[in-house]
Amino acid sequence: MSKYIFVTGGVTSSLGKGIIAASLAKLLQARGLKVTIQKFDPYINVDPGTLNPYEHGECYVTEDGAETDLDLGHYERFLNIYTSQANNVTTGRIYQTVINKERAGDFLGKTVQVVPHITDEIKRRMKLLGEDGKYDIILTEIGGTVGDIESLPFIEAVRQLQWELPDEDVMVVHLTLIPYLRAAKELKTKPTQHSVKMLSETGVHPDIIVCRTEEPLSNEIKRKIALFCNVKQEAVIEAMDASTIYEVPLLMLREKLDLICLKKLNINQYSDPNLDKWKGFLDKLKYPKSRVTVGLIGKYIELQDAYKSILESFVHAGAMNEVKVEVVNVHSEYITQDNVAEKLQGLDGLLVAPGFGHRGIEGKIIAVQYAREKGLPFFGICLGMQMAVIEFARNVLGLKDAHSTEMNTDTNHAVINMMEEQKKIKMMGGTMRLGAYPCEIKEGSLAHRIYGELQISERHRHRYEFNNDYFDQFESNGMLASGRNPETGLVEIMELPNHPFFIGVQYHPELKSTVEKPAPLFVSFIAAAKKYNEQRMQQKARAEQ
Ligand code: GLN
């Protein structure tokens, strides 16, 4: 039988519930327990796939092709496990299932209601991953903030589960904020008291209160929170702001968050936490030997969450290379032939990010051209690879109006066009080429050196692809298709063998980078940037002599 830990949030959003949940899961995993983690989101979209990144940050894609909340990325990066569609459920998906059942006549003439029908479906989904006994513990993060109208059915489902299952099989961790009032030089517990009260009014009482705080919590404050929120003092956990999210598991270990959970769940068989690899990574992260600067070119750069997995992959790859990776955001809309050298000045590498639509496209193409001509390490992901293909077609093959049919349906040279099976699709949600597909790598290529193997599998999220009609023209002019799908022949990797490091991939390697297994492409890209930086510094030193 699996046991359940629910993580709720109070006072305000953006407290880092996903990181706290992932850190707790990491500690339990490090103690030898089999753990998974899921997120229930209270919005009506069936999944975040159709949401603009400005609304919801990055859309994280799992192996099975589910378009999910970016917190699932944290779960995978922390736990080094795969999640799936079952790990992310929204209100929209719950209602869709219930309404489909109603249309099928499954409710036998009954009135379909939030309680019990919606809450039953929520409970069924909450327990789904626990059914085959694969996991000792299932952590469930409830999105939103306690008190929101839309999260009520989820909290009600937790209440019912708590009532249905033995006491020792369910527990609730509530994350809140203890604001520090600078003028009064005081930490304030009132918002936490209110949020716990609100949670209790819906019949759910937290077992543990995790307090986000800028200042250490004194014993006196902890006692006050414990007394007025009706939990044991040891169950008031201090979560101080950390310098990196990867430090949080260690902070929670120090606060014994995992041990208190194990005690409440009456789990007695566990080992000392094995966090050697984690700590090794953290040491390298905190004490880099040098630094490199990479440019991230995209159109959502004001919003860090839009490129979450890419930024985290840089953190992993930086630690592997023992360098600090400074990411400079470059807005593609403002790049022109005249200012490109200035805009990309001081960079040791250039990453052209994934994206959709035509905004900022020409700037990306100019940036790729600069990287190709100047020998600046280049890494293109999805749309980034497509831009590299268009740039090569225009400036090397001389196909002046080469484009992707996503941006220009009338082009004479559609070097990137829509996949055949995509052309009949009318519904936008969940219909891209999604999830893991195999890729066969060409022996002796840069891709081969990077991965060290010839068969790989990576995750996808796109509708357009390289047009194979141009295959020979590209290869005979020096751009190599070094990775292809073995069944369909779709081009997955493009590279320039005559360049120090120039590679574009149609898939998203950032989705599989974890602390324990950084994505090889990122590791190699940062290694190339490091080399470029060293050369740049030598040149500078020589010039100054
Ligand atoms: N818009 C492009 C496509 O659909 C690229 C998508 C992406 O970068 N994820 O093919």
Instruction: Name the residue at shortest CA distance from atom 1 of ligand 1.
Output: 356
Atom of ligand 1 nearest to the CA of 354: 8
What ligand 1 atom has the least distance to the C-alpha of 508? 9
Q: Enumerate the active-site residues.
A: 382, 508, 510
What one-character DSSP code corresponds to residue 116?
A: I
**266 φ/ψ sector (left φ>0, alpha ψ -120 to 50, else beta):** left
Pairing of strands 491-495, 480-484: antiparallel
Tell me, in angstroms, the distance from the centre of ligand 1 to residue 364's CA: 14
Residue nearest to atom 5 of ligand 1 (CA): 383
pLDDT value, residue 424: 86
Amino acid at 24: L
Give, for ligand 1, the residue of 379, 382, 419 to mutate: max count of ligand atoms closer than 8 Å to Cβ: 382
Q: CA-CA distance, 438 to 125, in Å (whole number)?
A: 30
Ligand 1 contacts CB of residue 464 (under 6 A): yes
pTM: 0.94
User: What pairs with residue 295 in β-bridges?
Assistant: 328, 350
Distance 415 CA to ligand 1 centre (A): 14
- State which ligand 1 atom lies nearest to the alpha carbon of 357: 1
Three-class DSSP category at 235 = helix
298 lines ligand 1 (CB under 6 A): no
Ligand 1 atom nearest 382 alpha carbon: 8
- Residue 275 is predicted with a pLDDT of 95
Q: What are the distances in angstroms from CA 23 to CA 19, 27, 41, 76, 185?
A: 6, 6, 19, 11, 30
Specify the residue for token string 């953290």.
282
pLDDT at residue number 427: 81
Closest CA to 59 of 310, 319, 313: 310
DSSP letter for 38, please: E
Alpha carbon of 357 to ligand 1 centroid (Å): 8
455-462 and 433-441 as β-strands: parallel, antiparallel, unpaired?
antiparallel
Task: Count helices and strands (H / E) in the chain.
Answer: 18, 23
Q: Does any ligand 1 atom lie closer than 6 A to the CB of residue 354?
A: yes
Mutate to test the pocket of ligand 1, among 61, 307, 386, 404 (most ligand atoms within 8 A of CB): 386
Query: Which residue, by CA, sits nearest to atom 8 of ligand 1?
Result: 354
Long-range contacts of 358-363 (CB under 8 A, 24+ apart): 358/406, 358/407, 358/408, 359/299, 359/333, 360/298, 360/299, 360/331, 360/332, 360/333, 361/332, 361/387, 361/407, 362/335, 363/297, 363/331, 363/332, 363/333, 363/334, 363/335, 363/336
In order along the chain (545 residues), what is the average pLDDT of each group of 10 residues?
95 89 97 96 90 85 95 96 95 97 93 96 95 93 92 96 96 96 92 95 95 95 95 95 95 97 96 95 96 91 86 97 96 92 95 90 95 97 97 97 95 92 84 94 97 98 95 96 96 97 98 96 98 93 88
pLDDT at 428: 84
Buried/exposed 44-80: b ≥16 CB within 10 Å, e otherwise:
ebbbbbeeebeebbbbbbbbebbbbbbbbbbbbbbbe
326 alpha carbon to ligand 1 midpoint, in Å?
Answer: 26
Distance from residue 362's CA to the centre of ligand 1 (Å): 16
Q: For the chain, how long is the longest CA-to-CA vector?
A: 88
DSSP type of residue 358 = S
